[in-house]
Structure formats: structure tokens, C-alpha cells
Homo-oligomer: A and B are copies of this chain.
Amino acid sequence: MSTELSFQIAARDAGARTGALETPRGTIRTPAFMPVGTAGTVKAMFPETVAATGADILLANTYHLMLRPGAERVAAFGGLHEFMNWGGPILTDSGGFQVMSLAKLRKISEAGVTFQSHIDGSTHELTPESSIEIQCLLGADIQMAFDECTPFPCSEAEARASMDLSMRWAARSKEAFAAQGAAGQALFGIVQGSVYPGLREQSARALLDIGFDGYAVGGLAVGEGQETMLEILGATTPFLPEERPRYLMGVGTPLDIIAAVERGIDMFDCVMPTRSGRHGQAFTWEGKLNLRNAVHAGDERPLDAESSCPAARDYSRAYLHHLFKAGEYLGPMLLSWANVHFYQDLLQRIRTAVAERRFSQFAAETRSRLAGE
């Protein structure tokens, strides 16, 4: 295990923690939200703009990049940072989740997964070893162990078999990373076990035995609902080491994030701010708005008077409505920017509230403000 990923917790409050994860490419303030740059671009945003919102780290997808433009091509350019013009840290997923949700004709064996590309139908294989190799070619600062993510619902027997397989893959991922990972790079393990607390505990213990730089909770936010997600999350984090970063994968809404921070989570990623933005949905401190709605056609107010983001401040809701009705690029460009800014602002407020030991009050107030979201 790399010893270079320093994680310092500066303050704890009401189950939450705030701190800093140090990587050679920069400091990640936690709790952190990672915008998703699936194919090597945070959709409809310039990398400088992403950085200006306050994002310290991006997520990129191994599955997409291995298929196009190919990991070797990215490596030939000196890695993904250079390729996409992003100087800060990058976390890559292992490809496991994306293979399950996007690829065709998947076949899972002890060795790994063979699948057909959703782009051109070509056949590929992902194994713990090849996933780590690809993540190393991409030059990811934080890499993820290769795992299987079970769908919801899933029987306990299926969940157990899948989790056991993922834990064997985690050990192989660790071994591959030990051989190939560069100095300063880190590897996170992923807790699986579906909605079964006993399996989650076993999975966490298995990962701890292997030893990782950080621990992710996977297989949630796949249809089980917020209540179950939080129940399982609350039954999992107690088994994760205090001194290592904890990452809840693929989550979520602003209120999901607040509830997960209350359960000790440090890192998040989600396509929601950018995907919603492309479809005319805005996150604001007054709650969510659908800019396609005719109610905004004559509204001179900015998107969010409380925001310091130019996209939320310098254009009227009526103009944004017009852009979406007219199918103009600028609509998705402005709302993606405003939404990523909102998420970064939310995380900054969370960090400040924890540091000032008023996180419970902040959480209650924010739930009330964003109710109905």
C-alpha cells in the first residue's frame, strides 16, 4: 500500500468529518464532490471552469476511456491529465459498474468479465489485473479495485457469492497495483454486499485484511431508495477505519450527500449536476428548477441570487428558458456550470459547518430549504 496518500481529519461533528487528502497533484478538501468526466471531459464544461467551481478532483471512467480513445493512446500523451488538460488529481473507477450497466453480452467468470462494447460491439475483457493496468496507463491518482456491482433487488445468496468474488478480485487488484502503481498513486477497495448488513460487514473486514489507501461503498443508489441506502451505509461505515478516506460511489442528491456525510463519508461522485444541467434542471438554494417549464419564460430573476457563479448570476431565468427551448448549446453549458458550482458550494458549506461544529444545524436548515427537491 502506498503510504503517500496522507489523510488528515481536522474536525469531527455529529458523525461527520472534515479534512484534507493530500496527493502529489494537489490537496482534496473533504468532504469532496468529484464531478464526472466520463470520456475525459466534464460534459459541456471547460476544465478551467470546473476548477473555478472549487472542484479539487475529477472522476473519469475506465470503461469509456479503454474503448475510446483507448488507454494506450492516453498513455502515449503522458496520461489523462495531460490529454484532457486537467492538472489536479483524477480518480478512475474500475470499469466494473459501467460494464454491468452499459456493455452488452457480459460474461462473468472467476477471471473477470468479457463484454461487447456499446460503441461498436467489439469484444473486450476486464479483469482485476487489466483494470489496474488501464488505470495505471491513464495515470489515475486514485484507482479503484475491480468489483462486481449487484443490481437491486438481489437475493442474499447472490449478493454473498458476488461479494465473495469481488473480495477475491480486490486482493488481485491490490497485487496488480503493488506491481504497477506509480509513486504517489493510491488504490481504494470497494465494499459490496447489496442491502445485507452482515455481508457489508464481512466485505469491509475482508478489505481491511487486504489493506487499501481508502475504502469505498459501492452497490448503493442502484434502486433501493434513500432510506435503505442510508440504513446500509450506516451499517457499513462503522467497520471502516477512521483514519482512511471513505467514498460513497455514485451519490447523489444534495440531501443524499448531507445524510451520507452524517454517516462519516468523505468523498462523492455523481453525474447528477451535469446530466441534470444538460436537460434543463437546475440546483439552486431555493430548490430544483426545471428551466424548460413555461413558468420561467418571463422571469427576469437570475437562476440563483445566492450563488456566486457567473452562470447562475448573470443570466435571467427567461433567457435560460429561451436557450433550452431553442436547443442552444449555451443552455447546457450554463446549467452544467451552475449545477457543478452549486454542488461545490454545498460541499464547502458542509466542510465549514463541520469545522465550526454546527453541522446538525446546517443539515436541518438545508433540508428545510431544499425540501421537495
The stretch of A68-76, A130-138, A144-152 in contact with B is A68-76
Say if the beta carbon of A83 comes within 8 Å of chain B.
yes
The stretch of A16-24, A180-188, A261-269, A311-319 in contact with B is A311-319
A330-B73 in contact given A68-B325, A85-B314 (Cβ < 8 Å)? no
Q: Give A329-346 interface residues, CB cut-off 8 Å to B.
A: 329-330, 332-333
Q: Closest Cβ of chain B: how far from A60's Cβ, in Å? A: 12
- Interface contact B323-A83, CB-CB below 8 Å: no
Say if the beta carbon of A43 comes within 8 Å of chain B.
yes
Say if the beta carbon of A328 comes within 8 Å of chain B.
yes
- Interface contact A44-B329, CB-CB below 8 Å: yes
Say if the beta carbon of A77 comes within 8 Å of chain B.
yes
Q: How far is the CA of A131 from the CA of B68 in the complex (A)?
A: 49
Say if the beta carbon of A84 comes within 8 Å of chain B.
yes
Copies in the complex: 2
Minimum CB distance partner of A68 in chain B: B326
**Contact among B41, B83, B314, B326 with A330 in the assembled complex (CB-CB below 8 Å):** B41
Q: Give A178-218 interface residues, CB cut-off 8 Å to B.
A: none
**Contact among B84, B310, B323 with A41 in the assembled complex (CB-CB below 8 Å):** B323
- Interface contact B297-A330, CB-CB below 8 Å: no
17 A-B Cβ contacts within 8 A? A39-B322, A39-B328, A40-B322, A43-B328, A44-B330, A44-B333, A45-B330, A48-B310, A64-B326, A68-B322, A69-B322, A77-B318, A77-B319, A83-B318, A83-B319, A84-B319, A85-B314
Binding site for B on A (CB under 8 A): 39-41, 43-46, 48, 64, 68-69, 73, 76-77, 83-85, 278, 297-298, 300, 310, 314-316, 318-319, 321-323, 325-326, 328-330, 332-333
Known: A69-B325, A73-B297. 8 other contacts (CB 8 A): A41-B323, A43-B328, A68-B326, A69-B318, A69-B322, A77-B316, A83-B319, A329-B329
